[in-house]
Amino acid sequence: MCIVLEDKTMEIIDNVGNTPDKLLEVLIAVQESSEENYISEEQLVSVSKGLGVTLSKAYGVATFYSMLSLKQRGKYVIQLCNSAPCYVNKAFEIIRAFEENLGIKVGEVTDDGLFSLEFVSCIGACHMAPAVKINDEVFGNLDRFKVKSILEEIIRRER
Amino acid sequence: MNKVTINIDGRDITVKDGATILEAAKELNIQIPTLCYHPDQSIKGSCRVCTVEVEGIENLQASCCTLVRDGMKVRTNTKRVRDARKKVLELIIASHNDNCLACVRSENCELQALSKELSMKETRLEKIVSNVSIQDDNPSIVRDSSKCIKCGRCIEVCHDVQGVGAIYNLNRSFNMEIGTPLGKDLSEISCVYCGQCINVCPVGAIYEKTDIDRVWKALEDEGKHVVVQVAPAVRVSIGEEFGMPPGSILTKKMVAVLRALGFNKVFDTDFTADLTILEEGNEFLHRLNGGGTLPMFTSCSPGWVRYIENFYPELLDHVSSCKSPQQMFGALAKTYYAEKENVDPKDIVVVSIMPCTAKKAEAARDEMIDSGYQDVDIVLTTRELGRMIKESGIDMISLPEEEFDEPLGISTGAAVIFGASGGVMEAALRTVYEVVTGEELENIDFVNLRGIEGFKEAVVKVGDLDVKVAVVNSLMSAKKVLDMVKEGKADYHFVEVMCCPGGCIGGGGQPIPGTNEIKRKRVEGIYNADKKLALRKSHENPAVKVLYEEFLEKPLGEKSHHLLHTHYVDRSN
Ligand code: SF4
Ligand code: SF4
Ligand code: SF4
Ligand code: FES
């Protein structure tokens, strides 16, 4: 398993480039190639070796960008905004709605690996707060009912 | 270079174009407070403590990173400026674990000093201190993120000066912190324990793992025979812990205070530094004449040894097999000295006073047990010795001078200069020249190998041979030589490598601050100490001669091989 992972990482590095300036691009590509939407520890080590950047720097960059994750995530990553505009628009109700519907807390992944919940600081959708981002798609002006139907729609698609 | 004239607080000053407001103010003796600024590092401009008013610009400007312009009018001391600085400091303090009473850096802390300078009062802001998270699963270094003010100095020194890159900034915005990747301890990543991060840290967020209490315990144990060795660089810096100027030579007072603390014998690492020259000098000649691997690298700096083990294991053959003087001392104290004094080696405790944090890790290496016991038991840094003396209440400065004990306290000037970059090479050349040519070396001062520059080289005529040598300090400079060797472009015969910038006088266990200016003074102290000594060549050390006659027989002999030489480990994975 480990060998396969490393091979895959090496292939990505070969495609994107093996110089330090390619760090961010490579990390994004590695994450995209993962079913669970994250970069594993072994992969991070391979990237640091493959590009000749220190592990501390690779880790620093991977933890700086909220789109990158070092923790296993769901196939659908639900990013909840915790910045002020969402906050004043009762984002916490939305958060609770997601938590209740999925049976997990923020920071966790559902048992079937389909969904994970996490906070981010602003997704650029303040005009339709409260808003969330699910993978690349933004959903705004949410309420409890919308949350439910969004999740149901995804589950239907996945069946 | 063009000059510009600016006005600061009503006074004109002409400075060179490209200077910062902070530098210009210094010329007028106006002290602008700073926090992230460090005289030997790049300008960070992140703390905004050095803020000033510039006429015509609405926002306050950070003086450490604002360049002067002709005709500029600056105010450094208005209510607006003072209030802004206080606001900045208040925010820093709100997220700082300020338990000064129990902090190693108390009274030597840039944050504490600043707080006093700005007359800070109790903050009204809510305290949000990150959980005290102490990282110390290694023999040398402790990191405490609850004290970190995120200035980034440690990152710069670790990446750009040492080329190790063990730490970096992690996460972002409010959660940003300085640390190791994947929550690992320094021992699990490539940290070499050089302690350079400690020396630049303005606060108590990084410090050595202290072993003072273990020494106190040994000293009070009637059944133990506790001997101490002191490294060359300590004698020119320990005074700084007691307010003396850097470079003050306190060898004999230091001996006196160590005896007063209760050590049974006060010995000198300089003794084994001389011995190192004989072993290493002969190893060099052996390699030179016998077609051995060249260039030969010196091996007395454990941070350097760990670096090459971590990053260039394929070049380990180049490293001299000689143990460092500290480890040679330990091995001899528990064999030669034990026999001579008729003390059971199991009762001997060897304590070292070192300018170095990596020495703690070196003493703990698995293979350093050639005497049949752990060769060196406890290592204290210069700073820890300072603290120990303060704890004891003894006034070192007023003690009458005393001499080291014999025989492991006898040494030459060649050993003292081990403490500065270039010193080991100079000491080796003083001996190698005379051994090879059989003639006396007239000018024994190799001045062009001295100083704190990172990379020095020279060609020295030894008999018929032009010996090409290089001297490097800081691991980034070492990396240059390693890469040259790898590419087959290094035609040196012999290379001295010191892990710390400036050599041991700039070691990670030395008094703080240790700026380049201070290091230069310590270097001066080292060469002055050398000059004052009657014997200045290692092979003239009478106690070393006796050691060979009575015990070791000859350099590189069987006993030497067993006690004084070692091997290295590939740690690249
Ligand atoms: S780091 Fe400085 S301000 Fe903070 S507790 Fe230590 S001495 Fe006090
Ligand atoms: S001890 Fe040296 S190598 Fe380790 S983190 Fe500090 S500066 Fe880097
Ligand atoms: S540990 Fe010290 S040097 Fe490093 S960022 Fe924190 S305060 Fe600055
Ligand atoms: S000292 Fe100028 S910004 Fe920190």
CA B107 to ligand 1: nearest atom: 7
Residue range B55-71, pLDDT digits in tens: 999 999 999 999 999 99
| B183 CA: distance to closest CA in chain A (Å) | 10
DSSP class of residue B356 equals -
CATH architecture of B212-564: 3-Layer(aba) Sandwich (3.40)
Can you name the residues that pair with B380 across neighbouring β-strands?
A: B353
CA distance B550 to B363: 26
pTM of the predicted structure, to 2 decimals? 0.92
Give me the count of residues in chain A.
Answer: 159
Q: Are B538 and B274 in contact (CB under 8 A)?
A: yes
According to CATH, the topology of domain B3-77 is: Ubiquitin-like (UB roll) (3.10.20)
Query: What DSSP state is assigned to residue B67?
Result: B
Please work out, in degrees rounded to the nearest 5, the angle formed at the alpha carbon of residue B434 by the alpha carbons of B429 and B438: 155
Residues A38-80 have pLDDT tens digits of 999 999 999 999 999 999 999 999 999 888 999 999 999 999 8
Which residue has 């090459």 as its token pair?
A: B308
- For strands B225-230 and B348-354, give the pairing: parallel
What's the CATH architecture for B126-208? 2-Layer Sandwich (3.30)
Domain with CATH 3.30.70.20 in chain B: 126-208
Q: What is the b/e burial string over B517-537, where b = at least 16 CB atoms within 10 angstroms of the residue's CB? A: ebbbbbbbbbbebbeeeebbb
B71 three-class SS: coil
Is B50 considered catalytic here? no
Asked whether the beta carbons of residue B168 and residue A54 sit closer than 8 angstroms, the reply is: yes
Q: What is the largest CA-CA distance in chain B?
A: 80
What is the rounded distance in angstroms from the CA atom of residue B103 to the CA atom of residue B106? 5
A64: which chain B residues are within 8 Å (Cβ-Cβ)? 169-172
Instruction: Give residue B385 CA to ligand 1 midpoint distance, Å.
Output: 21
Relative to beta strand B168-170, strand B177-179 is antiparallel
Strands of B348-354's sheet in order across:
B265-268, B225-230, B348-354, B378-381
Amino acid A98 reads F
Chain B residues whose beta carbon lies within 8 Å of the beta carbon of residue A57: 159, 165, 168
Q: Does B172 lie at the interface with A, CB-CB under 8 angstroms? A: yes
The tokens for A77 are 């990553």
Question: What's the pLDDT score for residue A66?
Answer: 82
Rounded Cα gap, residues B36 and B15, in angstroms = 23
* 3-class state of residue B503 by DSSP: coil
Which of A55, A66, A121 is closest, CB to CB, to B189?
A: A55
Sign (positive or negative) of CA dihedral B485, B486, B488, B489: negative
CA distance B149 to B203: 8
DSSP type of residue B266: E
Give bridge partners of residue A137 from the DSSP assignment.
A134
The segments of chain B whose pLDDT lies below 70 read: 131-132
pLDDT at B36 (0 to 100):
95
Residue carrying the six token digits 């590509």: A29
pLDDT band at A127 (very low <50, low <70, confident <90, very high): confident
- Residue B131 burial (C-beta neighbours within 10 Å; 0-12, 13-18, 19+): exposed
Buried b / exposed e along B161-191 (16+ C-beta atoms within 10 A): bbbbbbbbbbeeeeeeebbbbbebebbebbb
Q: CB contacts < 8 Å between A and B, how many?
A: 44
The alpha-carbon gap from A124 to the nearest alpha carbon of chain B, in Å, equals 17
User: Does the CB of B167 have a partner CB in chain A at under 8 Å?
Assistant: yes
Q: Is A145's pLDDT higher than 90? A: yes
Contact B41, B156 (CB under 8 A): yes
Distance between CA atoms of residues B383 and B237, nearest Å: 9
Neighbours of B106 (CB within 10 A): 12
State how far residue B173 is from chain A, nearest Cα, in angstroms: 9
List residues bridging with B228 in a β-sheet.
B266, B351
Residues of A near B (CB-CB distance < 8 A)?
41, 44, 54-60, 63-66, 70, 121
Which residue spans of chain B are classified as CATH 3.40.50.1780? Answer: 212-564
Catalytic residue, candidates B359, B360, B521, B537: B359
B429 close to B536: Cβ distance less than 8 angstroms = no
Q: Beta strand B11-16 with B3-8: parallel, antiparallel or unpaired?
A: antiparallel
Question: Are the beta carbons of A36 and A72 closer than 8 angstroms?
Answer: yes
The answer on pLDDT for A4 being more than 80 is no
Quick one: which ligand is closest to B42's CA? 4
Report the distance separating Cα B349 and Cα B26, nearest Å: 50
Q: Report CB contact under 8 Å: B168, A59.
A: yes
| Helix (H), strand (E), coil (C) string for A53-108 | CCHHHHHHHHHHCCCCCCCCCCCEEEEEECCHHHHHCCHHHHHHHHHHHHCCCCCC
Backbone angles phi, psi at B38, to 5 degrees: -135, 130
User: How far is it, in rounded angstroms, from Cα A79 to Cα A47?
Assistant: 26
pLDDT at A1 over 50: no
Return the ligand 2 atom nearest residue B167 CA: 5
- Asked if B110 is an active-site residue, the reply is no
CB contact under 8 A, B166 and A60: no
Task: Single out the residue of A46, A53, A48 nearest to residue A3, CA to CA.
Answer: A46
CA R_g for chain B: 25
